[in-house]
Amino acid sequence: MNPHVVARGFTALIAIWLAGGWNLEAQQRPEVTKALVDQWMQELSNWGRWGQDDELGAVNLITQAKRREALALATTGEVVSLSLPISVVAPPDDPYSTTAFTNLRVVDIPSGFLMERQQVAFHGSTVSHLDALCHAHHEGKIYNGVALEDAFTEDGCSHMGISGLAGGIVTRGVLLDIPRLKGLDALETGTHVYPEDIEAWERRTGVTVSAGDAVFLRTGRWVNDNRSGYDITVAPWLKERDAALVGSDGTQDVGQIPGTTLPFHKLVLVALGANIFDNMDLEALAETAARLNRWEFLLVAAPIPNPGGTGSPLNPLAIF
């Protein structure tokens, strides 16, 4: 079958679902192919939405009004960290290794102070971090259509680097506790979280994801070391809701689509222009939210504004 015809058919189905009338659990779920992912790269694109020189992407959706609404959520004063404790390990021998690590050396200098030197490689599946928009590219371009060769050198990213978020992030955070929805402590390995799961959670909690939100998916990864996450079909759902930031306790992508690598990551970073929180620890957040019966909170996050950086380790805070 012609893949373009198939892609158009899938796009029509997605449109029906976005309009609110598609119950996927009652129908056969369509297969997502590379052709459809490539089409979504175009159809879901926020390129040019905030101008040709924009480097913030979906963070533009966090308006002053949105920040004021988020600040009003801090009523009890309880603060919960969303970061994993960092494990200090020796760096790998290979300087081009993608293994995440933090290496620490502390010395007592003669003037009576303890000083340290740190090395951090945070991309991967073990360190809590925020991806910059320049972290991913598709067909030679990063967010907003900037050519990779115009943005990247070994000295860093000249466009879409993490230093664009030097002012920090203040917005509403929304927790999607899908194991709790299903009556589980944690999801089974390989579980896909679909748009209808998220909407079922919205109905249960009364909290609806809206423009400018930071969305955090709890899979229970740190309970049973599962490898679960957002299904690729959540990408058009995020565009429809205008989420500003996307996160989970994993690395987002689950399952494989032949001919692609981490397509959910790329759709979110490159097409939507939304930064991604990877490897969050959402267990204490889930416990606090359940105790308070509150699934929305003030999110404050401040990445290290390293010029040219493709991301940053950080310690996001949920304030109730």
- Same-domain check for residues 119 and 268: no
Domain encompassing residue 223: 48-83+128-319
Q: Supply the pLDDT for residue 299.
A: 99
Overall size of the chain counted in residues: 320
Q: Tell me the pTM.
A: 0.88
- Same-domain check for residues 119 and 246: no
Q: Supply the pLDDT for residue 120.
A: 82
Contact call for residues 275 and 59 (beta carbons, < 8 A): yes
Residue 39 lies in a domain: no
- Same-domain check for residues 95 and 227: no
- Please say which residue of 100, 124, 148 terminates a domain: 124
Burial readout 114-145 (b: 16 or more C-beta within 10 A, e: otherwise): eeeeeebbbbeebbbbbbbbbbbbbeebbbbe
- Same-domain check for residues 162 and 223: yes
Q: Supply the pLDDT for residue 177.
A: 98
Q: Supply the pLDDT for residue 162.
A: 97
For 180-226, what is each residue's pLDDT tens digit? 999 999 999 999 999 999 999 999 999 999 999 999 999 999 999 99
Residue 24 lies in a domain: no
Residue 3 lies in a domain: no
* pLDDT tens, the chain, 320 aa long: 344 433 444 444 444 344 444 344 535 677 899 999 999 999 999 999 999 999 999 999 999 999 999 999 999 999 999 999 887 677 777 766 667 777 888 999 999 999 988 888 888 888 999 999 999 999 999 999 999 999 999 999 999 999 999 999 999 999 999 999 999 999 999 999 999 999 999 999 999 999 999 999 999 999 999 999 999 999 999 999 999 999 999 988 998 899 999 999 999 999 999 999 999 999 999 999 999 999 999 999 999 999 999 999 999 999 99
For 68-86, what is each residue's pLDDT tens digit? 999 999 999 999 999 998 8
- Same-domain check for residues 194 and 93: no
- Same-domain check for residues 64 and 169: yes
Contacts of 113 (CB under 8 A, 6+ apart): none
